[in-house]
Amino acid sequence: MPSWQDFQPFIVSGLALGGVYALSGVGLIVLYRATGVLNLAFGALGAMGALITWSLIKAGVPDWLSWLACVVFAGAVTLGYGIIFGPALAKRDPLVKAVATIGLTLILYGLADLLWTTSGGQARSITFPTDNSGFMVGQVQVNWTQVIALAAGVVITVATGAFLRYTKLGTAMRAMANDRDITATLGVPVRKVEAAAWLGCGVLAGLAGLLLADLVALDATTLTFLVISSLAAVLIARLRSITITFIAAIVIGLLHDLLTPITALTNYRDMTPFVLAAVALLVLSRHQVMSQSREEA
């Protein structure tokens, strides 16, 4: 059994990873609650955005502009998808809406792999100036990027919570989460509110993509399908609460990284999000009522 010393660095990296998962989870939940769409393309959007950033930096564009490009790209594509396919699929089952975003995922993933070939290509990476500066907590080196990742998770969760609670747009989104038709009847501009949710989700996808490209790896496949791990936190929150999403994301990130120094389990640490999500889903669905309503489970 490794000593406490061995675990310390992984607490820091785990918290950073958890922060990004929380950020992703909040983006997924806001969109799901407002539009009923679980955006499985979340990872692909961030991946392609991050690859664009990489190319821009390589071409000599100032760093901050390149980072902005990632967020703008992800936001614009998500908004475009939402405007084109959102209304067309609005009346369909949540499952159909989620599967449709798999279509977007495959298009983006194919494009990213085509334009930024992986086979035989050089390893790409995005580095922030904050990577190399940091401080010590006890004997553990903490860099500012990790702090930013965790802080982004906290700030986005709190800000989104406040936004949904106190602003007019946020109230409209919560109303849509309850019932789209009644909300429309009450005079809420449903399409506009949905568009805002799509844009918000896209911007968060871009942010998450940038951070994960630095913290994990800049690779189209890895980033695209990392959304499956982010989904776990959202599932534990049953696609509802952003607070539970945040807590679940931090737990998943921490547990995943804390298993690393344990030799017997280190190979299985990637199972963490899946196992936690599966167990949570099964436990939470103990008392299920079958109904004809659209909102299932």
Partner 1 sequence: MQATPVQQDASRRYKSPRPDRKQLTRAGVIAVLLLFVLFGLPQLLSLYYIDTMTQVAVYSMVALGLGVLVGRVGLVSLGQVAVLAIGAWVAARLLFATTQPYPLVLLEAGLITMVLGVIIGLPALRLRGLYLALITLMLAGAITVVLATVNFPNGGHGFLGYNGSLVNIPPIRRPSIAASDPAYFRYSVVVAILMFALVLAHIKTRPGRAWAAIRQSEPAALAAGINTWLYKLWAFALASFITGVAGGVLAGAVHYLYSIGFPTQDSITLLAVVLMGGAYSMWGAVVAALLYQFLPALLNNWGVSADWLTILFGVGVLQVLTTAPAGLADQVPRDLARLGRFLRSRIRKAAPAPGGDAA
Residue ranges in contact with partner 1 by CB under 8 A: 38, 40, 85, 88-89, 92-96, 98-100, 102-111, 113-114, 221, 224-225, 228-229, 231-232, 235, 267-268, 270-271, 273-275, 277-278, 281-282, 285, 288, 290-292, 296-297
| Between 66 and 101, CB nearer to partner 1 | 101
Q: Is the dihedral of CA 233, 234, 236, 237 positive or negative?
A: positive
Contact yes or no for 173/197 (Cβ under 8 A): yes
Rounded distance, CA 207 to CA 264, Å?
34
| Between 59 and 290, CB nearer to partner 1 | 290
Output the smallest distance, CB 105 to partner 1, in A. 7
Contact yes or no for 42/206 (Cβ under 8 A): no
| Between 57 and 99, CB nearer to partner 1 | 99
| Between 6 and 296, CB nearer to partner 1 | 296
Q: Coil, strand or helix: which one is 137?
A: strand
**Among all chains, which residue has been given the structure tokens 């990004």?**
20
| First-last CA distance in the chain | 41
Output the smallest distance, CB 101 to partner 1, in A. 9
Rounded distance, CA 216 to CA 40, Å?
19
Output the smallest distance, CB 271 to partner 1, in A. 5
| Between 6 and 270, CB nearer to partner 1 | 270
Residue type, 262: I
Output the smallest distance, CB 208 to partner 1, in A. 18
Output the smallest distance, CB 148 to partner 1, in A. 28
